[in-house]
Structure 1
Amino acid sequence: MIKRLLIALGSVLTLVAALLAYTLPAHADTGFGISDGRLVDASGNDFVIRGVSHPHAWYTHQTGAFADIKSLGANTVRVVLSSGDQWQENDVDDVADIVAECKANRLICMLEVHDTTGYGEAAAAVPLDRAVDYWLRVQDAVEGEEDHILVNIGNEPYGNDATVNQGWAGDTSAAIRRLRDAGFDHTLVVDAPNWGQDWQGIMRDNARSVFDSDPHRNTIFSIHMYGVYAQESTVVSYLESFVDAGLPLLVGEFGHDHSDGNPDEDAIMAHTERLGLGYIGWSWSGNGGGVEYLDMVEDFDVNRLTPWGERIFHGPDGIASTAVEAPVYGGGGPTDPPTEEPTEEPTDPPAGDCEASYAVTGQWNNGFQGEVTVTAGAPITGWTVTWTLGSGESVSHAWNASVNTSGSTVTATDAGYNGTLAAGQSTSFGFIGTHNGSVSTPALSCTA
């Protein structure tokens, strides 16, 4: 009897442990994670990727690209690496240097192995197993960097061979498990088959099983949008299929044109912004083989933007107007959860009901990020800040305040949860702006 009770108790404890493991928050205590189908940082803040790919494997000397990409407003860079199967291997020291470059330039680094591209159709391409072998060789360079690094296991790991493609789900799950067993705690990024475009729907149809196969449930899916996505309806249908399923997705590559058709870049950028999904454009510079038009700058020169570069950085829904720096570097954005109360302790109150101070926290070619701090001079239950924009300036979006522009006058009102302040207490709000020259430092008016 006692033995049967012990066995039963053991079964119950096992069941409880399994349930607890399944219902634990999807993001880890450190690093990025997935929560409710969203990419989040260690504090649970949404992070929306806005970045470009940099072909480091083929241009290892172009390390200035990291600072240049950041200067145009990107919050992420996707870095091309080689496992040594098709090109010279980027060894552990090289990868460590890349991680350092990303951190020095306040960029999130998505590292990808390119040698898997088109496996099953491209003769030189290698399977995902070979990419995992490489990640194990360079593990020391990325271990402990989970809050700065995403691991894109292998680029476009299958071509269009329908027979080989059927192995995508099993091979991808196996690659995830090998990395987890080896101690990789990073958010893992997995590319679709069909040269990344998933026109057969293999990734879409198997995404749930692959996500569930990750013991950390910390995998995000990457779709590459080129000629298959020439119609807005196709773009919307694919993106919304993941959002509706509660599965994480980003557009890991796209361009404004391609040899296989003309993708609708306007729809890609507009609908990722609408849905709060990340995107990464291909690519910074150095393209060849007839797709030189995908260069964003000429000859790695940040001052020589191409039409594609102008579009992705400065066009509607572009990087400059929508990117928010990662919270790990001190950034924040409209997707951050509102604070329940102001975070700063009361200080000596200013004269009057309130005062506001203005700071530029980031700046790039035609954009900037600003922050306004409101301090109460007496107990208040709401506040309004106004200022006049400089010539050529505009405000595109803001967080922790409701911001409206009429002509050159900007009016910001509290968001409700941060309107009540004790004398001497402060709160702040931020915004993204654009400019045509230097950024002004305006005089602010605060009323309560």
Structure 2
Amino acid sequence: MTKTRIGALLAAAVAVLLASLLAVPAAFAGPPGTTAVGLRISDGRLQESNGNDFVIRGVNHPHAWYTGETQSFADIKAQGANTVRVVLSSGDQWPETGVAEVESIVAECKANRLICVLEVHDTTGYGESAAAVSLDVAADYWLRVQSALEGEEDHIIVNIGNEPFGNTTYQQWTADTQAAVGKLRDAGYEHTIMVDAPNWGQDWTHTMRDNAQAVYDSDPTGNLIFSIHMYGVYTSESVVRDYLTSFVNAGLPILVGEFGHNHSDGDPDEDAIMGVTTELGLGYIGWSWSGNSSEVAYLDLVNGFDPGSLTSWGERFFNGPDGIAETSEEATIYSGS
């Protein structure tokens, strides 16, 4: 074979190689995480844009019902949490949390070096609770406040709707969740999106578990995380472990978005919830900082929004084994590490 022929073949080979490299999407052109917009999902794990795993250790804060308790963000951070999940309202059950208010919440989270999970609470128990609204209505709310969240993908996770089905019509969860996620993606949302389970968040029918892969695959970005709420259904270590490991073994991202130490529907095993999530490197967010109604006041972590007055649940959650003090690490977007 002549040098001219060899040179021509090499040139053709180089051209093919360059064309194939240029065809690779930018998101796959470098090490994992290097081109991410912000918080993202990679290999079933929540990561920051630098590729570091981020394990949520957070507190639920009932902002929509106590809009004046903005000091709570600093107080929650002072207890060691790295995340706050904030109750918002689409305006259907409570006054709407508008654009300016969302901007203020985002600013509080950033000022206090917290990752902020924002959730619409008006969807709670849809299909069973007459006052609850659909995920589609919640998605429309996210479009109304989108300007407050643009550019905040490093700091914000969008939890489309809290406990979006009760114990009836929950079979609609899969299609409705896919449609709501699609509406946000079509509108340009690039944030990590969190989706709650049906059955008042507890998924005792395993509707979310059995359809999670289909929902995850429907999101073109792959930046989707599932949230299970663990109350009276999760009364033993075996039940907690079985549910969480089903996602881990499938390579699907999961966290415990709400849980407590007691509940009217049963006695959740908080030690197992905190222990198994720690063992598996999964996130958890305790319910809730303060202000629960009298029948579930035992779920307050502090008395009367006073950070100096931890309840027994708060003492366990913050300072007990596998608790916030022992396991929480600040997001590197703030620490720079």
Give the TM-score, by structure 2 length: 0.91
2: distance between equivalents of 1:331 and 1:153? 29
Cα RMSD for the two superposed structures: 1.7
Partner of residue 39, structure 1: 46
Q: What is residue 145 of structure 1 aligned with on the other side? A: 152
| Map of 1:293 onto structure 2 | 298
1:257 match: 262
Which of these residues, 132, 147, 154, is aligned with residue 161 of structure 2? 154
1:156-235 maps to which residues of 2 (within 5 A)? 156-161=163-168, 164-235=169-240
The one-letter code sitting in structure 2 at the alignment partner of 1:269 is M
- The answer to whether structure 1 residue 127 and structure 2 residue 134 are counterparts is yes
Shift of 1:29: 2.5
Write the mapping of 1:377-396 to structure 2, written as runs, cut at 5 A: none
Instruction: After superposition, give the CA deviation of every residue in 1:250-286 in whole Å (9 maximum; x if it has no partner).
Output: 0000000001000000000000000000000000000
Q: Secondary structure at the match of 1:259?
A: coil
Q: Deviations over 1:10-42 (max 9, x none)?
A: xxx99x96x858967875522100000000000
Report how far residue 302 of structure 1 moved. 0.2
Query: Are 2:234 and 2:269, in contact at CA under 8 Å, matched by a contact in 1?
Result: yes
Residue 291 of structure 1 aligns to which amino acid in structure 2?
V
Change (3 A) 1:22 1:29: closer
In 2: Cα distance, 1:217 partner to 1:167 partner: 22
Highest RCO, 1 vs 2 (Cα 8 Å, sep ≥ 6): 2
Match of 2:74 in 1: 67
1:52 aligns with 2:59: yes
Alpha-carbon distance in 2 for matches of 1:21, 1:195: 39
SS in 2 for 1:228: coil
1:304 aligned residue (309, 314, 319): 309
In structure 2, how many angstroms separate the alpha carbons of the residues matched to 1:193 and 1:287?
Answer: 22
Distance in 2 (CA, whole Å) between partners of 1:289 and 1:198 is: 26
> Which residue pairs with 2:88 in the alignment?
81
Answer whether contact 2:114 2:331 (CA < 8 A) is retained.
yes
Of the three residues 91, 95, 98, the one matched with 2:98 is 91
TM-aligned CA distance change 1:258 to 1:61, over 3 Å: same
Q: Distance in 2 between matches of 1:184 and 1:269?
A: 31
Partner deviation per Cα, 1:369-423 (whole Å, 9 max, x = no partner): xxxxxxxxxxxxxxxxxxxxxxxxxxxxxxxxxxxxxxxxxxxxxxxxxxxxxxx
3-state SS of paired residue (2:41):
strand
State the one-letter code of the partner of 2:174.
A
CA distance in 2, matches of 1:23, 1:167: 34
Partner SS state of residue 46, structure 1: coil
On the 8 A contact 1:117/1:159 being kept in 2, the answer is yes
Report the 3-state secondary structure (helix = DSSP H, G, I; strand = E; otherwise coil) of the residue aligned with 2:101. Answer: helix
Question: In the alignment, residue 220 of structure 2 is paired with which amino acid?
Answer: P
In structure 1, what is the equivalent of residue 120 of structure 2?
A: 113
Amino acid at match of 1:88: P
DSSP 3-state at the match of 1:188: strand
Structure 1, residues 149-182: CA drift from partner, whole Å, max 9, x if none? 0000000000001xx1111111101111110110
| Alpha carbons 1:26, 1:33 under 8 Å: kept | no
Letter in 2 for 1:283: S
Q: Which residue of 1 aligns with 2:289?
A: 284
- Residue aligning to 2:37: 30
Instruction: Measure, in 2, the Cα distance between the counterparts of 1:100 and 1:301.
Output: 22
Structure 1 runs of 4+ with >6 Å offset? none
Map of 1:238-257 to 2, 5 A cutoff? 238-257=243-262
Matched-pair contact (CA < 8 Å) for 2:27–2:36: no
- In 2, distance between residues paired with 1:99 and 1:237? 35
Which secondary structure state, in structure 1, belongs to the residue aligned with residue 295 of structure 2?
coil
Q: Is the 8 A contact 2:32 2:51 kept in 1?
A: no
Unpaired runs of at least 5, structure 2: 1-18
User: Residue type matched to 1:79 in 2?
Assistant: V
Aligned pair partner of 1:324 in 323, 329, 337: 329
Residue 231 of structure 1: how far off its partner (Å): 1.1
CA distance in 2, matches of 1:305, 1:173: 40
Aligned to 2:10: none
Are the structure 2 counterparts of residues 274 and 130 from structure 1 closer, same or farther at C-alpha, using a change threshold of 3 Å? same
Q: Are 1:26 and 1:216, in contact at CA under 8 Å, matched by a contact in 2? A: no
- 1:331, CA displacement in angstroms? 5.8
Opposite residue 252 of structure 1, the aligned amino acid is G
How many residues get paired? 316
The percent of aligned pairs where both chains have the same amino acid is: 69
1:238 deviation in Å?
A: 0.3
Structure 1 portions without partners, runs of 5+: 1-12, 333-448
Kindly provide the CA deviation profile for residues 416-446 of structure 1, in whole angstroms up to 9, marking residues without a partner as x.
xxxxxxxxxxxxxxxxxxxxxxxxxxxxxxx
Q: Residue 237 of structure 1 aligns with which residue? A: 242
Q: Is the 8 A contact 1:26 1:34 kept in 2?
A: no
| Residue type at the aligned position of 2:301 | M
SS at match of 2:118: strand
Q: Which residue of 2 aligns with 1:8?
A: none
What TM-score, normalized to structure 1?
0.69
Cα contact 2:37–2:190 (8 A) shared by 1:
no
